[in-house]
Structure 1
Amino acid sequence: MNGIITRNVIRVVFIVAILFSIVGCSDNDENNTTPSLTSTNVVEVVFSPSGFGDLGYNDIILTGLEESRKRLGFDVMMHVPASVEDGIAIYNKWAQKTAKDERRLFIFASNQYESALRNSSVRPSDANSSVLLYETHKPIDGVYTFRIGMYGAAYLIGAYTALTNKDESDYKAAVLAANPFDRNVDGAAQGFRDGFIEAGGADATISYISDRDGDGYNMPDEAYALCTRLYESGHTFFFPVAGGSNKAVYQFSRNQGVYTAGIDGDMSAYSGLMNCSLVKNIGSATKDFIALWLDKKEIPQHQDFLWDSGYVNVIYCHDWKETDAQGIETFKNNILGKETEYEKSK
């Protein structure tokens, strides 16, 4: 475990270095002074309230932003608000300003802002200002949107998990999802369950940390308690799809010695009992979008990036290998068809 902790610390130090290298960063906009900008292209980002340093979604976006900034030469301002409401307030102030000699892009780097943005009529009034929201499955007027679908990758992890435990006739897994309203969360949950059952797993229960729309992503205590209840009912593998709450699931894995899978990035540093990680290459998607925006290329108002996009994949953790799962090729070949079937059902 010492090696795992060391890798985690190194990664956090790397993230802190990026934070200091980017133009502006604040978790309290009222106390934030506007930094000196040197470019006529300015990207302003509001992250989810969960912040940085967990190797997950926000960290991956941050790394992509820094790589893109160095290569393409634009300025970045970042905000890590205390709540979704604070994030929307930052956006409202941004939208009220007018771009004069610059082009501006405002990024909502989490679909936790989706409901508030859909219900808001606030949009920038000038042609030089654009808005992007991550991870929604439906277009929003006046906003660029895209989604990295997880069904296909989760289907593969579900199948792999069942195949590598096929000697256990009553092997039960549990999916811990943030809430029942997030389409992306649903895709991952259903994908894992379908792959697990089709590969011979006994059961894959889908349980929700919260029953409220937009909630469940930063509720580690509730997530840990849910793990405890599921473990006591015989579930011995946990697949979390709950943002910042995932860390509680990884902690439970370490404490109780049960297996788990990671999501968003390579989460193997969090548990030596992790077989796979579902990796969303959100940093690459961010870099590609910004490059098109800077070049003033035509960008679709909404885009769905699925298994064949290259923006999502599965990596095997620690000593686990794809070849450990006899028959996994059949399931890999089924991914596109199963994902298409799922997408049409929604």
Structure 2
Amino acid sequence: MSCIITRNVIRVVFIVAILFSIVGCSDNDENNTTPSLTSTNVVEVVFSPSGFGDLGYNDIILTGLEESRKRLGFDVMMHVPASVEDGIAIYNKWAQKTAKDERRLFIFASNQYESALRNSSVRPSDANSSVLLYETHEPIDGVYTFRIGMYGAAYLIGAYTALTNKDESDYKAAVLAANPFDRNVDGAAQGFRDGFIEAGGADATISYISDRDGDGYNMPNEAYALCNRLYESGHTFFFPVAGGSNKAVYQFSRNQGVYTAGIDGDMSAYSGLMNCSLVKNIGSATNDFIALWLDKKEIPQHQDFLWDSGYVNVIYCHDWKETDAQGIETFKNNILGKETKYEKSK
């Protein structure tokens, strides 16, 4: 089996080399001749622009795909385009080809492509080719979609944060969200705020790094500046929901000695003042989807994976322990009801 990586973002080479050195992947410019693939099953992936190296979502997908490739036996082609438009152009070129003796799956590993894909009529013409888009709420004709909802896990983190600081009546937290248009980001932001307030926290401000749709995910300088402003206004806990911009929040936590929570994976290595992390098991969700696809099983056109799916959970970091938050079980028992209510409101 083999994997091929094409991209026009030079800085990802080191990450890719570490993750794929044992399997002999090649890194090729998109204008070069594509090396031959060996499997009859090919998965082609377009990541978000400048996606690798975000210490979270994209890197977790990358690792999960490699584990899945070795376990299930298929070829992989990966692209890290410079823009959404470039990513759509890669897809359009893929869709124009016809599968012969192979089965093909094209994955958009970011909902940044949702609007362009939803407005496009380009779909593969043969039954052996399928398309998957991550993290959208609504079905798209001719495309498989799924999302991992974060409201429930964020609700628990908000409650845990307030309970572990219950002796501070004026304890103020801040959510740093990428933009106000991403419903997945909104779920995490609203969940944290609801849990924090209900557990006795004084305030949980939701602030946005960008006011533009599809933006805010790779803006570390703006995120750091926003942390400064919120810190000066009395906020001493930060919950980031902003993709690659989260790195700046972890850096601010280290520099200023303020507490934070991680997201996407276990982020405890990036700050000693991290109480817990919201873990999205996107690698497992991808593995399970590909396994069903390879076996030609029936797959729902759209799937919502919420708190009870097993694809999202909370882990407690360093010496922070669940028992530090007296009464957390009450909030755990409320998660499904609260999440259901939130989902119905959207």
Normalising to structure 1: TM-score of the pair? 0.93
Q: Is the 8 A contact 1:166 1:200 kept in 2?
A: yes
Change (3 A) 1:276 1:313: same
Deviates more, 1:51-60 or 1:184-193: 51-60
Change (3 A) 1:44 1:325: same
Change (3 A) 1:238 1:87: same
Task: State the Cα deviation string for residues 282-319 of structure 1 (Å, max 9, x = none).
Answer: 00000000000000000000000000000000001111
The 2-side partners of 1:310 and 1:3 are apart by 29
Change (3 A) 1:172 1:5: farther
Change (3 A) 1:7 1:62: closer
Change (3 A) 1:114 1:22: farther
Deviates more, 1:30-39 or 1:176-185: 30-39
Deviates more, 1:72-81 or 1:54-63: 54-63
- Structure 1 unaligned segments of length 5 or more: list them: none
Q: What RMSD in Å do the two structures reach over aligned CA positions?
A: 5.3
The 2-side partners of 1:129 and 1:3 are apart by 18
Q: Is the 8 A contact 1:18 1:63 kept in 2?
A: no
Change (3 A) 1:14 1:70: farther
> Shift in Å at residue 212 of structure 1?
1.0
Q: Is the 8 A contact 1:27 1:79 kept in 2?
A: no
Q: Is the 8 A contact 2:7 2:81 kept in 1?
A: no
Task: State the Cα deviation string for residues 187-241 of structure 1 (Å, max 9, x = none).
Answer: 0000000000000000000011111111111111111111111111110000000
Task: State the Cα deviation string for residues 260-300 of structure 1 (Å, max 9, x = none).
Answer: 00000011111111000000000000000000000000000
Aligned residue-pair number: 346
Deviates more, 1:23-32 or 1:43-52: 23-32
Matched, 1:223 2:226: no
> Shift in Å at residue 87 of structure 1?
0.9
The 2-side partners of 1:287 and 1:14 are apart by 24
The 1-side partners of 2:62 and 2:79 are apart by 11
The 1-side partners of 2:8 and 2:262 are apart by 14
> Shift in Å at residue 63 of structure 1?
1.6
> Shift in Å at residue 17 of structure 1?
4.9
Aligned to 2:38: 38
Q: Once superposed, which parts of structure 1, at least 4 consecutive aligned residues long, lie more than 4 Å away?
A: 1-15, 21-29
Q: Is the 8 A contact 2:54 2:243 kept in 1?
A: no
Q: Is the 8 A contact 1:144 1:301 kept in 2?
A: yes
Q: Is the 8 A contact 2:3 2:75 kept in 1?
A: no
Change (3 A) 1:3 1:234: farther
Kindly, what percent of the aligned residue pairs are identical?
98
Aligned to 1:50: 50
Deviates more, 1:38-47 or 1:21-30: 21-30
Q: Is the 8 A contact 1:19 1:25 kept in 2?
A: no
> Shift in Å at residue 33 of structure 1?
3.1
Task: State the Cα deviation string for residues 106-134 of structure 1 (Å, max 9, x = none).
Answer: 00011111111111111111111100000
Q: Is the 8 A contact 1:227 1:249 kept in 2?
A: yes
Deviates more, 1:108-117 or 1:192-201: 108-117
Normalising to structure 2: TM-score of the pair? 0.93
Change (3 A) 1:275 1:56: same
The 1-side partners of 2:139 and 2:319 are apart by 41
> Shift in Å at residue 67 of structure 1?
1.3
